[in-house]
Chains A and B, each alone.
Chain A
Amino acid sequence: MNDTQPILDVDALHVAIGEREILRGATLALRPGSLAVLMGANGSGKSTLGLALAGHPRYRVVGGAARLGGADLLAMSVEARARAGLFLSFQAPPDIPGVKNNLFIRTALNAVRESRGEAPLDAYDFLGQARAAGKSIGLPDSMLGRPVNDGFSGGERKRNELLQLALLKPKVAVLDEIDSGMDVDGVRAVVELITRLRAEGTAFLIVSHYLQMIESLSPDVVLRLADGRIAEQGGIALAHEIARTGYARAAQVVGV
């Protein structure tokens, strides 16, 4: 597959939670190394898109298609999607009491490596990589020895998501409000990491309301989700307009 082919291709996706259809024909494509910002009013289905692509059991795909690197994403199990290179950062990552962060991440990393036919990392090699990655995003070493997200602040949980992103180096990363709860240094770390991984070929779908960060990311495209579809798309100017006028007005513009 050459770089002009999309790595993620979502075509007219319909997703329901229970009987309620949240996404009604969402279509988007990401090429390797590209970055799309997904904006939209609360409840417009931004998180639903990420969770449905990742295969959350409560998000039922009722129509459309999604392909990752040409393969049928929707036919894969949750872990197969992850191993194929899909990463979703959680808005509120859960804790796992008693499981040390480094064990958790190493187990995950080795599961992914195994599926790629790579040798597992031993604890020593892993720790070296994890420390270096942690340092670059401002996560102290001590976080590696603590149970996963247990007693972490909101910002620490988000940084821990970044750490996993940095180590897993996915093909496609969907980051759902990764900036919320982060301090200024945290947001800077987000931008640095995304820029670096993007240069290495990771495609990003970034859900955010934070204009300053969106600007620093130099997105290829800004998408506005409304009524379960991509209602509008454009350059950074669209993000500026939404910031200035709000979603309610934007909704009126397209007559939703």
Chain B
Amino acid sequence: MDATADNANAATDARAAPEQADALTQALAQPYRHGFVTEIESDSLPPGLDEGVIREISRRKREPEFLLRWRLAAFERWQKMEAPDWAYLRIDPVDFQALSYYSAPKSHKNGPKSIDEVDPKLLETYEKLGVPLHERARLAGVAVDAVFDSVSVGTTFREKLAEVGVIFCSFSHAVQNHPELIERYLGTVVPQGDNFYAALNSAVFSDGSFVYVPAGVRCPMELSSYFRINAANTGQFERTLIIAEPGSHVSYLEGCTAPQRDENQLHAAVVELVAHDDAFIKYSTVQNWYPGDENGRGGIYNFVTKRGLAAGRRSRIAWTQVETGSAITWKYPSVVLRGDESNGEFHSIAVSNHYQQADTGTKMIHLGKNTTSRIVSKGISAGHAQNSYRGLVRINPGAEGARNHTQCDSLLIGHHCGAHTFPYIESTRGDAVVEHEATTTRISEERLFYCQQRGLDAQEATALIVGGFCQAVLEELPMEFALEARSLLAVSLEGAVG
């Protein structure tokens, strides 16, 4: 089903594609922009991708043999794959040979040395978001150690987790120290050949997070990449794996609540979650990568594969995402409901302004008996942006008594943007209950005038109305994240009205 509301207009929607392509190619061609925090800069590899590069990545990371073989198998599959073109996105072709595949955090040498060197416009945004001063510098890419001592924070944190047996470390660290867990779980939820970008990630992934929560343990704190030492700036190909043993409970927060000025880059991350019997994983994301400028130049291409396996009885997985950044977002956090009575949830806010494009949604795959899933999607489009919800609810033959409820709302701001809804329902059972509700609204002149008549300016009014529209999803976020997400929504939509 296409377009509950479609304002896409080919004539008015034309954008400066050639310039963008040039800028992108140039920026993607820049080598040595990144280097590992723990390594020296010369460890970056020159642009290009072949088997030799993959062997070199694995060698430098001192990986066990199984992982090298796994990477190579993924590479072999990737070479036979084509980039997907089914999404409602205009994507300029990416030259994969122009990228450097061994690169992660921003190089200290090329990054700003102090806050004085940071783009004032960026600092202004941080101020609006209420990011503390020392944090602003870190987010802007000023060398971490020059800004504040994160080590002490991290150490306390790590000790507290170790007491209850929770492992929370970088993916590379886990490969060295817990190879048996990596070998057992890697690729079990998102197989190597799952899709073009997942295959590429499997071949070349640099680093990411690893979480292991032992049976019966309720993780004593929210795990946040904020606290993850040495991984604040993990690179273009992140890989995250979270394992929750029976009866355990963990909440993971990912993301950066202020924009990074990484321009014209490809991000192809993979996240795998495994929840065993009675385990619960809550995964929250606030994504605010650089969206490109008002004219659609620059910005991150964000192609992410996120999937959770509700593996056992009564396993629960909940995705919550607030997506305001990136030039292109292609992302479908999904849940495979294998265990009987398992539950999957997806709560999403996707904002696109100016020339941003978002094609995002979820997949709920019902395999077990009496499995339930709930989808709440809030898409907001402004400027010339295109925002699509794409969701699949599949009820397999064994999924007796499966139920799904989908609520999919779109909010349009202005007359040049578009909202699209592509819900796919594949049900093989007569007893399945699959409900889909969709609405499309506009920030109407009357609502805006009403707010303004009471003294709010157009921007305050828009922020208020958008916040109300997103309320149901914001409620799912941990408190402090919700506050930041709210300011982020306001900042992302600045200038959209009035």
Contact = CB atoms under 8 A, between A and B. Distances in A.
Given A56-B449, A78-B449, A96-B447, A108 B454 contact: yes
Contact of B456 (A94, A108, A147, A164): A108
A104 interface: yes
B469 interface: yes
Given A79-B452, A108-B451, A96 B445 contact: no
A79 B469 contact: no
Given A94-B446, A105-B454, 7 more contacts: A79-B457, A98-B470, A107-B464, A108-B454, A111-B455, A112-B454, A148-B468
B468 A57 contact: no
Given A82-B454, A107-B456, A115-B455, A147 B449 contact: no
Contacts of B449: 54, 56-57, 78
A74 B452 CA distance: 15
Interface residues of A, number: 33
Contact of A78 (B453, B469, B471, B472): B453
A81 B469 CA distance: 27
Interface string A121-155: 00000000000000000000000000110000000
Contact of B444 (A58, A94, A148): A94
Nearest to A58: B445
Nearest to A103: B464
Contacts of A83: 455
A82 B453 CA distance: 5
Contacts of A55: 452-453
Contacts of B446: 94
A97 interface: yes
Of A90, A107, A112, A115, chain B has the most CB atoms within 10 Å of the CB of A107
Nearest to A89: B453
A83 B445 CA distance: 19
Interface in B442-498: 444-447, 449-458, 460, 464-465, 467-472
A87 B454 CA distance: 7
The 10 closest A-B pairs by CB, nearest first: A98-B468, A99-B468, A108-B454, A98-B471, A78-B452, A111-B455, A82-B455, A112-B455, A79-B452, A94-B446
B472 A98 contact: yes
A94 B447 contact: yes
A88 B453 CA distance: 7
Nearest to B475: A98
Of A96, A109, A168, chain B has the most CB atoms within 10 Å of the CB of A96
Contact of A97 (B445, B452, B456, B468): B468
B454 A168 contact: yes
Contact of B465 (A87, A96, A111): A96
Interface of B: 444-447, 449-458, 460, 464-465, 467-472
Of A57, A77, A88, A104, chain B has the most CB atoms within 10 Å of the CB of A104
Contacts of B451: 96, 104, 108
A58 B444 CA distance: 13
Contacts of A96: 447, 450-451, 464-465, 468
B54 to A, nearest CB: 48
A54 B453 contact: yes
A43 interface: no
A234 interface: no
Interface of A: 54-58, 77-79, 81-83, 87-88, 90, 93-94, 96-99, 103-105, 107-109, 111-112, 115, 147-148, 164, 168
Contact of A99 (B452, B453, B465): B465
A111 B454 CA distance: 9
Contacts of B455: 79, 82-83, 108-109, 111-112, 115, 168
Contacts of B457: 77, 79, 111
Nearest to A92: B446
Contacts of A54: 449, 453
B450 A94 contact: yes
Nearest to B441: A97
22 contacts: A56-B449, A57-B445, A58-B445, A77-B452, A77-B457, A79-B457, A88-B453, A90-B450, A90-B453, A93-B450, A96-B464, A96-B468, A98-B471, A98-B472, A99-B464, A99-B465, A104-B451, A108-B454, A108-B456, A111-B460, A112-B454, A168-B455
A58 B449 CA distance: 10
B445 A111 contact: no
A172 to B, nearest CB: 13
Nearest to A111: B455
A118 to B, nearest CB: 12
Given A107-B464, A111-B460, A97 B453 contact: no
A104 B136 CA distance: 30
A96 B446 CA distance: 10
B92 to A, nearest CB: 36
B319 to A, nearest CB: 21
Of B446, B447, B452, chain A has the most CB atoms within 10 Å of the CB of B452
A107 B460 contact: yes
A164 B454 contact: yes
Contacts of A97: 468-469
A256 to B, nearest CB: 31
Contacts of A103: 464
Nearest to B443: A96
Nearest to B471: A98
B377 to A, nearest CB: 15
Contact of A98 (B445, B453, B460, B469): B469
B415 to A, nearest CB: 14
Contacts of B469: 97-98
B456 A111 contact: yes
A123 to B, nearest CB: 14
Contacts of B454: 82, 104-105, 108, 111-112, 164, 168
